[in-house]
Amino acid sequence: MRFVFHTHSLTSDWNHGNAHFLRGVMRELVARGHSATALAPFDAWSRANLVADQGFRALDRFARDFPELDEQLWEEDFDHAAALAGADVVVVHEWTDPALVAEIGRLRREGGTFTLLFHDTHHRAVSAQSAIAGLALADYDGVLAFGETLAARYRAAGWGRQVRVWHEAADTRLFRPMPEVEKTGDLIWIGNWGDGERDAQLREFLVEPVRDLGLVAEARGVRYPPHALAALDEAGIAHGGWIANADAPEAFARHRVTVHVPRRPYVESLPGIPTIRPFEALACGIPLVCAPWDDAEGLFRPGEDYLVARNGEEMRAALRGILDDPERAAALAASGLETIRARHTCSHRVDALLGILADLRADHRETETAP
């Protein structure tokens, strides 16, 4: 089958986590003999920021790291109808411009033979409801939501039809244990600081425990305001800035533990959605300690696959326990890796996507033949 993914960017992962998952899904599709192309705007915010931050040389990483992947950049006069001609499946991401979301829906309504899906991997359904409510999804065959609580929002609001859950997952071709890499640090945190919605949580669960325990720690990511950089410096945490996602497995391998501090919407309004970072960390076989989030869908085994710290004191105790007990650390890492490999790889998600497509086509055939 020929898959076309309308995305914000495939080349750039600068503050753009969906690129991680989409690359893994496309790689899996290509490995199975399908065709997969990403269409992305030339002036994408993430791509522009990557170039401003790292220079044009950063764009070369994509071709070097993912030679099997195809991205076509479009500008204002791009012929979207021609680009979708011959496609079997078109997946449009939530970051896509609303006018283009509507245009692709119109192409489907006016004779497009492809199955058209809308893909949401963000929290705007709760943080910017009017933006999602204003999208023209009536001509889409289905909606893919990356968690059950998000899918429930779509169903309750009547946004789109045939809303299905399609969790993110780890690209295990890329994210894997690297035991040959020498460990040079205690803790690494890979994440973007964000918009201030978790300043207090990052201080409580990352900055202060590292400072108090005297750990050798590193933080990688972007959008760190001056006060955040000052806090890292005061705690002795080295900030390395942007890291190409292809370099993250080795960065995990150089450290003995990592943490996950979820954004506020995923704790308060969209429980059960872990975002992609924990999948990737566990796939690398590194012990993980999480600030509180509710695994409402039973994706993992809390306490076995990772530890949960309800407050800063519990985070200190969990980190100290892992760093002081190599056997405990190894058991935790092995359990998390086992769960990823059994349930949460991009191969599993491609299986799920193909199953969803088969169901949608069966429903369509039944509708066409109904009296």
Model confidence pLDDT, tens digit, residues 42-76:
999 999 999 999 999 999 999 999 999 999 999 99
pTM equals: 0.95
Residue 368 has pLDDT above 60, yes or no: no
Predicted pLDDT of residue 366: 54
Residue 153 has pLDDT above 70, yes or no: yes
DSSP tag of 304? T
> What percentage of the chain has pLDDT greater than the value 70?
98
Question: CATH assignment of 185-343?
Answer: 3.40.50.2000
Quick one: tokens of 156?
Answer: 């309750």
Mean pLDDT of 170-199: 94
What is d(CA 225, CA 234) in angstroms, rounded to the nearest whole number? Answer: 14
Mean pLDDT of 28-33: 98
Predicted pLDDT of residue 364: 63
> What are the C-alpha distances in Å from 297 to residues 148, 165, 273, 283?
7, 11, 8, 19
Residue 355 has pLDDT above 60, yes or no: yes
Q: Let me know: does 114 contact 92? Beta carbons within 8 Å.
A: no
Rounded (5°) CA angle 167-171-173 = 155
Longest dimension (CA), the chain: 72
Map residue 154 onto helix, strand or coil: helix
Mean pLDDT of 155-179: 97
Mean pLDDT of 153-172: 96
Mean pLDDT of 329-344: 98
Q: Let me know: does 7 contact 17? Beta carbons within 8 Å.
A: no
Domain assignments of the chain as residue spans, ordered by start: 2-169+346-369, 185-343
pLDDT band at residue 9 under the 50/70/90 scheme: very high
Mean pLDDT of 131-157: 96
Predicted pLDDT of residue 195: 77
Q: Amino acid identity, residue 84?
A: L
Give 283's Cβ-side CA count (13 Å radius): 24
Predicted pLDDT of residue 150: 95
Q: Let me know: does 230 contact 199? Beta carbons within 8 Å.
A: no
Look over the chain and give the mean of its residue pLDDT values, rounded to a whole number: 95
Other Cβ atoms less than 10 A from the Cβ of 122: the count is: 20
Predicted pLDDT of residue 362: 80
Strand partners, 307: 289
Predicted pLDDT of residue 198: 85
Closest to 211 (Cα-Cα) out of 230, 197, 224: 230
- For tokens 């497995």, name the residue: 249
What is d(CA 283, CA 280) in angstroms, rounded to the nearest whole number? Answer: 5
b/e for 163-184, b at 16 or more Cβ within 10 A?
A: bbbbbbbbbbebbbbeeeeeee
What is d(CA 125, CA 121) in angstroms, rounded to the nearest whole number? Answer: 10
Closest to 10 (Cα-Cα) out of 40, 35, 54: 40
Write the burial class of residue 302 (CB in 10 Å: 0-12 exposed, 13-18 middle, 19+ buried): middle
Closest to 93 (Cα-Cα) out of 13, 10, 29, 157: 10
pLDDT band at residue 204 under the 50/70/90 scheme: very high
Residue 321 has pLDDT above 60, yes or no: yes
Strand partners, 302: 306
What is d(CA 298, CA 60) in angstroms, rounded to the nearest whole number? Answer: 39
Mean pLDDT of 66-93: 97
Predicted pLDDT of residue 194: 77
Q: Let me know: does 339 contact 301? Beta carbons within 8 Å.
A: yes
Closest to 177 (Cα-Cα) out of 341, 368, 352: 341
Predicted pLDDT of residue 365: 59
Residue 196 has pLDDT above 80, yes or no: no
Residue 369 has pLDDT above 60, yes or no: no
Positions of E strands within 171-270? 185-190, 217-220, 237-239, 255-260
More confident residue, 123 or 168: 168
Question: CATH assignment of 2-169+346-369?
Answer: 3.40.50.2000
Strand partners, 90: 4, 116
Closest to 105 (Cα-Cα) out of 125, 126, 84: 84
Predicted pLDDT of residue 158: 95
